[in-house]
A and B are shown apart, each in its own frame.
Chain A
């Protein structure tokens, strides 16, 4: 009886390996940092998967992940070959995968910026510079690995106060993504938060913001952000010139519905060097070793 059971269990565990070794090798898999509500991401990237698969003649699959680090790890581990990264996650990923390249960014990503938003109960108004009025408020970033929701806002907070955010604010949290930052500040769970302008504008356009409860009080200077990054070894796997074909397909994307879902007005070529400022800031703050 017992031996029998053991034998069955051993067989079962062996099957785990076999069952899992059958994934197709000729599928281009991509992911994206989870910077917004998941439903929106799935909708957006299903569309991209269909579009790319039509343009490239290979199966294209999108997998959703739960954190920025998971997106970077999947890219590094070659479980995805293409990714829609933020500035910081892109720098981190390309540093970990030699030969990988930033191939396209949104038109808006050349000069991206972040807003600092505040709940009405704080009485905070638009300010020229980050001022002491912010002290001892509660503050939420987006994800820990976010460029527009953490890195850049933290950089300017440190610059303005000469202290870490933990010392400036009464409480510092990480909401997880931009949509959630908006909801938390709107609900007053946090007094103040950092959000990227693109999510803010889109939600504003869709009338999803209670403008009586939350408003923008400060905006950062501009910096380079989101980009498509591809692994260097895709050409060996999918054929010579594949990386370039992906780039061309992304640049040629003109379906308004697809672009609107980002939202970007179009994609333009970019190189790794464009993100040097992000790397410098990341090193200063200690997020990049």
Chain B
């Protein structure tokens, strides 16, 4: 069995995670974690939909930011996809998508403040980068045949619109719709840094122990995402997109001088600003690297590797819940509901909840990342396993699981896992804002100390780390000849 490269890769990664566990800070520090967890679940089953003022507005804003952000992102992404062959464009896109929405929001907050543009751009920019990449892949895979059949002299634009687009239109539409769901999640968590979306109220309700209010918000959020196919219809889309900008709220007016100041003063490294020259710059860089970047990178990598393997375990355990090869329709329906809840809850919110309940350590982050990502991958390979036709005399139960299904879905399972590697790392970094000592913690500290030069440097380091893992992940997928479709 060890001769299989997929098995070898899995074992290597498991070993890395196990070694990581030795160094990781895993603990439940709360005195009564289960009592609090109980109170939280009690809150979820006794939701109070009316106590939070402005909850309806918050939901509306969440949807509005998602629509405007994703729409803007998809248009820019599409335009970038047309020139995606150019190397600088690729690098640019890799770079903007390597920075998490919350980091973008934290950057824009410094000069746009609480203006709707902050939230819109925080979603639109990283999404442009992702759209550009995926759209260009879809366009590349389009059948070239229709183009060859066009009469000579057909314009480039006409050829593109009539011969290329129709072939991939369905895929583009499906992916964009899928991205809208991701956009709703992104939009919700932007509230955690102060934008007027759901996260704003969720954070307040949680931090004050108002679990019934928090439960109500979570339930509304799940309903919103689960009913997405019902209320997002192609015909209604223009109405939503045109209407959404009016529901972003007023915020505060932009002062353009702040923008100039941010780029020409705030983010200039302080030794250069204070004219301490390159010697001062060296000390400054050394200090940031040794005291912030390195511990941040170390914790981010450890947490990512543990979360990656935990994600894999959850996915492998969860996929039978919705597979047609196991259980009856009732089991499968509840399995579906369970997995929808897992993948609809952003890691950030899950981690936030668990941190409140269990106290600070890497454990809440690992569990949150594993549940959310494991839910997504479990859902995808569960669906795939249902399409496998087994022999009538195939074994049942555990043998069916271990000998029939897992080997058949294992390659796509690994493909999804390595695809999500970079996503898990991006989220791991951002969870630092909640107080786990990953890179996000140091970025947040720098921002809290009004040291934007440090914050920007640390964000750039985080982005490079993500790009590195993305490249490594793609290399491994190519080595193992794994193919996958994009997830978010």
Cβ of B212 to closest chain A Cβ, rounded Å: 14
- The total of chain A residues at the interface (CB under 8 A) is 61
Taking CB atoms, residues of chain A closer than 8 Å to B165 are 2
* A138 and B29 within 8 A (CB): yes
Q: How far is the CA of A165 from the CA of B30 in the complex (A)?
A: 20
With known contacts A69-B448, A77-B255, A190-B359, A15–B208 Cβ distance under 8 A? no
- List residues of chain A with CB within 8 A of the CB of B194: 65-67, 70
Please tell me if the beta carbons of B448 and A16 are within 8 angstroms of each other in the complex. no
Q: Which chain B residues lie closer than 8 Å to A29 at the CB level?
A: 252
Closest-by-CB residue of B relative to A4 is: B238
* Inter-chain contact B450/A96, CB cutoff 8 Å: yes
A15 touches B200 (CB 8 A): no
A180 surroundings in chain B (CB, below 8 A): 207
Q: Does B71 contact A12, Cβ atoms closer than 8 Å?
A: yes
User: Does B37 have its Cβ within 8 Å of any Cβ on chain A?
Assistant: no
Give the CA-CA distance A23 to B253 in the complex, in Å. Answer: 6
| One of B114, B120, B200, B258 near A16 (C-beta < 8 A) | B120
Say whether A176 faces chain B, with CB atoms less than 8 Å apart. yes
Query: Does B296 touch A at the CB level, under 8 Å?
Result: no
* A77 B75 Cβ-Cβ under 8 A: no
B348 interfacial contact with A, CB 8 Å: no
Interface string of A16-43 (1 = CB under 8 A from B): 1101111101000100000001110000
Which residues of chain B (25-59) have a CB below 8 Å from chain A? 25, 29-32, 36
Against B, the Cβ 8 Å flags (1 = close, 0 = not) of A59-70 are 000010111111
The answer, yes or no, to whether A174 is at the interface (CB within 8 Å) is yes
Which of B92-100, B105-113, B221-229, B406-414 touches A? B105-113
Contact with B along A69-86 (1 / 0, CB 8 A): 110111011111000000
* B30 touching A188, Cβ below 8 Å: yes
Q: Is the CB of A121 within 8 A of B31?
A: yes
Contact A74 B114, beta carbon cutoff 8 Å: yes
CB-based contact A16/B68 at 8 Å: yes
- B450 & A92 in contact (Cβ 8 Å cutoff): yes
- B244: CB under 8 A from chain A? yes
B449 touches A144 (CB 8 A): yes
Q: Which residue of A lies closest to B64 (CB)?
A: A16
Query: Is A171 a contact of B360 with CB atoms below 8 Å?
Result: yes
- Give complex CA distance A48, B42 in Å: 36
Contact A12/B245 with A2-B161, A6-B75, A74-B252 known, Cβ cut-off 8 Å: yes
CB contacts (< 8 Å) of B207 on chain A: these are 37-38, 176-177, 180
Count of B residues near A, CB < 8 Å?
A: 57
A80 to B161, CA, bound (A): 49
**Cβ of A141 to closest chain B Cβ, rounded Å:** 11
Q: Which residues of the partner chain A approach B254 to less than 8 Å between Cβ atoms? A: 20
Contacts of A80 in B (CB 8 A): 252
Most chain A beta carbons < 10 A, residue from B36, B114, B251, B448: B448
In contact, A79 and B252 (Cβ under 8 angstroms): yes
A111 CB contacts on chain B under 8 angstroms: none
Q: Is A189 an interface residue (CB 8 A)?
A: yes
* B277-308 interface code vs A (CB 8 A; 1 in, 0 out): 00000000000000000000000000000000
Query: A150 CB to closest chain B CB, in angstroms?
Result: 10
CB neighbours of B238 from chain A (8 A) = 5, 8
Tally of contacts, chain A with chain B, CB under 8 A: 150
Choose one: A22, A179, A289; the contact of B451 (CB below 8 Å): A289
Q: How far is the CA of A205 from the CA of B445 in the complex (A)?
A: 33
Q: Give the docked Cα–Cα distance between A121 and B250 (Å).
A: 49
B139 CB to nearest chain A CB (Å): 13
* C-alpha gap A21/B254 in the complex (Å): 8
Which B residues, 148 to 170, have Cβ-Cβ distances below 8 Å to chain A? 161, 165
Cα(A10)–Cα(B116), bound, Å: 16
Contacts of A20 in B (CB 8 A): 115-117, 248, 250-251, 253-254
Is A119 an interface residue when CB atoms closer than 8 A count as contact?
yes
Chain B residue nearest to A150 (CB atoms) is: B448
In the assembled complex, the CB of A17 is this many whole angstroms from the nearest CB of chain B, namely 8
* B72 close to A (CB within 8 Å): yes
Q: B360–A173 contact, CB under 8 A? A: yes
C-beta contact mask, A145-187 vs B, less than 8 Å → 1, else 0? 1000000000000000000000000010110110110011001
Contact partner, A289, options B74, B111, B255, B270, Cβ 8 Å: B270
| Chain B residue, CB-CB nearest to A25 | B253
Seen from chain A, the residues whose Cβ lies within 8 Å of a Cβ on chain B are 2, 5-6, 8-13, 15-17, 19-23, 25, 29, 37-39, 63, 65-70, 72-74, 76-80, 92, 96, 119, 121, 138, 143-145, 171, 173-174, 176-177, 179-180, 183-184, 187-190, 287-289
**Residue contacts A-B, CB under 8 angstroms, 19 given:** A2-B165, A8-B238, A15-B242, A15-B245, A16-B245, A20-B115, A22-B250, A23-B250, A79-B114, A79-B253, A79-B255, A143-B448, A144-B448, A144-B449, A171-B25, A189-B29, A189-B359, A190-B29, A289-B451
Which residues of B line the A interface, CB within 8 A?
Answer: 25, 29-32, 36, 68, 71-72, 74-75, 109-111, 113-117, 120, 161, 165, 192-194, 200, 203-204, 207-209, 238, 241-242, 244-246, 248, 250-255, 258, 270, 359-361, 435, 444-445, 447-451
Known: A63-B252, A144-B444. 4 other contacts (CB 8 A): A9-B71, A80-B252, A145-B448, A179-B208
Q: Which 6 A-B pairs have the closest CB atoms?
A: A188-B31, A79-B252, A66-B194, A144-B448, A189-B359, A15-B245
